[in-house]
Structure formats: C-alpha cells, structure tokens
C-alpha cells in the first residue's frame, strides 16, 4: 500500500491533495498545527475511501519540528512526500514582525529541507518514491512587499530542481509545483487582502491546483507551473532586466492603496 505524508494538510492545496490521494486509495499521514481540523479531515477520508489516515499535530515553524514528525512516524515508510506547508507576509520589510519572518523562513525553507533529508534515504534505498515541493510563481523574481516570502520560494525552486537532477537515476522523482495566487487561507494569513495581486481577482481554486500538481507528480515531472498566463510570465523573467521586473511586480502585486 502506498503512503503519502502531506504537510499543511488542514486547508488549501494540502487538504485537496489529501482528498485526491485518498480517492486513489493512498494511505495518508497528515501534518499541520490544528489537531481538530486534521482529525475532522481524517474521519472524512477514512469514512469515504476506507484508507488508513494518521494525523500528526505539529508546528513546522518550530526548530525541531521535522525530526518530531519523523519520530511520530515510528518507522512507517513514506512513498510520497508532499512539502506543502508554508505561509507569506505582506508589507514593507522593515514594518514586518521579525518573529513572524523567522517562522516563515523556518517553515518554508528549513523544515521542508530537513523533512526531505530525513525521508529520502528510504525512498532511494527502495528505488522508488515521489517528492512534491510546493514553491510558487514568486520563485522566479524578487518581490517587493513580500521580500522574504519570494526569497524563500526561490530557494524551494532552486533546491528542488537541483535535487531532481541528483536523483535522476535512483527511481525517485522531485516535482516542484509553482502555482500563482490561489483561493486558500494563504491571503488572510499573509495579511495581503489589500494586495493588487488578489483584491477583486477570480483566482483558481485549491482543488484545481492540487489536481494539476498531483497529476504532474505521478508522471515524475520536474518543475511545473499552473496556468498558461503564469507560465508565460515566469518565462518572460529570463529576458527582462531586473530593474524592470521589480517595477512590474510592484505594479501587479503591491498595496492597492499605494
């Protein structure tokens, strides 16, 4: 039986990914901060699809969180690792709370990297496995007003792409999912409801993005960008001067009242 570990599984893309995998009879280990929300989702998936679902309530922005998660697995092998957990923070860098920025770096970068480092050896040893790291179209350029978030996602893209190359002969694949702005709880947590990127926009749903990423992961694809317009914008960065990119990002996603 295939087992998937999904971080950030209590909402958004992670929750929808859990539903898709359960429908495919994949056993699940769901990780997020909220025990209650995880338990509710686990009950839904077990009842509807008759799969095994374990929950690990853990704050991955804590320094030792990745090792806590792996210890809670009790040696259970993981076939699919979905590093989905992450959050952003909107506003001028000097006006943001350092504690929140530090938690973002820990969650978006350190815990993702550490979980991958801890769980990959068993996949490589078995000669099979799938890793899906959720990055963002923000990975492709610097982002005024979300400077740290954009930088963390640039790390995820670079790290995952390099790792995919290293593992190319092992039977293990690494897929990097780069969605644009998506309907989820991300905007509220990032305090970016006033950003031009999301205000008044008809955004794709978490279910649509999850389905896209899941299909691409199963096919062993590398870097995948959701949405034709997002793909075109990501490619255009390669031919655009850096100074122009900064002004464009500010225009597209800066504060709507600025």
Name, in order, each residue with C-beta under 8 angstroms of 103's C-beta and a sequence gap of 6 or more: 61
Which single residue is written with the structure tokens 């530090």? 102
**Domain 3-253: assigned CATH number:** 3.40.50.720
Tokens representing residue 187 in the block:
């905007």
Three-state secondary structure call for residue 201: coil
pLDDT at 256: 64
pLDDT at 167: 98
pLDDT at 195: 55
CA dihedral over 183, 104, 10, 210, signed as positive or negative? positive
Which of the following is catalytic: 149, 150, 155, 214?
149
pLDDT at 190: 47
CB 198 within 8 A of CB 181: yes
The CB density around residue 168, as the number of other CB atoms within 10 Å, is 13
CA distances from 46 to 24, 33, 109, 151, 159 (A): 12, 20, 31, 38, 34
Does the annotation count 149 as an active-site position? yes
At 168, give phi and psi (nearest 5°): -60, -20
Q: What is the CA radius of gyration of the chain?
A: 18
Tokens representing residue 23 in the block:
């429908």
CB 195 within 8 A of CB 254: yes
Distance, CA of 200 to CA of 196 (rounded, Å)? 8
Distance, CA of 30 to CA of 148 (rounded, Å)? 27
pLDDT at 24: 98
Distance, CA of 112 to CA of 60 (rounded, Å)? 9
Which single residue is written with the structure tokens 């815990």? 111
Distance, CA of 81 to CA of 56 (rounded, Å)? 14
Q: Nearest Cα to 230, choosing from 215, 208, 247?
A: 208
Strand order through the sheet with 223-225: 53-57, 27-32, 3-7, 80-83, 129-134, 172-178, 223-225
Distance, CA of 248 to CA of 234 (rounded, Å)? 12
Q: pLDDT truncated to tens, each residue of the chain (258 aa)?
A: 899 999 999 999 999 999 999 999 999 999 999 999 999 999 999 999 999 999 999 999 999 999 999 999 999 999 999 999 999 999 999 999 999 999 999 999 999 999 999 999 999 999 999 999 999 999 999 999 999 999 999 999 999 999 999 999 999 999 999 998 887 655 555 455 565 555 556 788 999 999 999 999 999 999 999 988 888 887 888 878 888 888 888 888 777 655
Distance, CA of 200 to CA of 24 (rounded, Å)? 35
């Amino acid at each position: 039986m295939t087992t998937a570990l999904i971080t950030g599984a209590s909402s958004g893309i992670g929750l929808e990914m859990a539903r898709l995998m359960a429908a495919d009879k994949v056993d699940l280990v769901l990780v997020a901060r909220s025990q209650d929300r995880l338990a509710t989702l686990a009950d839904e998936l077990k009842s509807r699809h008759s799969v095994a679902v374990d929950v690990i309530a853990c704050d991955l922005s804590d320094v030792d969180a990745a090792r806590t998660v792996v210890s809670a697995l009790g040696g259970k092998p993981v076939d699919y690792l979905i590093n989905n957990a992450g959050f952003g923070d909107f506003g001028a860098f000097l006006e943001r709370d350092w504690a929140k920025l530090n938690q973002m770096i820990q969650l978006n970068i350190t815990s993702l990297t550490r979980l991958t480092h801890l769980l990959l050896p068993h996949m490589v040893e078995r000669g099979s496995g799938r890793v899906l790291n959720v990055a963002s179209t923000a990975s492709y350029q610097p982002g005024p007003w979300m400077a740290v978030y954009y930088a963390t996602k640039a790390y995820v893209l670079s790290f995952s792409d390099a790792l995919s190359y290293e593992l190319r002969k092992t039977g293990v694949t690494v897929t990097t999912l780069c969605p644009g702005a998506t309907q989820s709880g991300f905007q509220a947590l990032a305090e970016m409801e006033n950003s031009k990127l999301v205000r008044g926009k008809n955004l794709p749903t978490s279910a649509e993005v999850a389905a896209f990423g899941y299909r691409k992961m199963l096919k062993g694809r590398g870097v995948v960008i959701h949405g034709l317009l997002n793909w075109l914008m990501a490619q255009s960065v390669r031919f655009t001067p850096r100074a122009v990119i900064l002004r464009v990002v500010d225009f597209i996603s800066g504060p709507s009242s600025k």
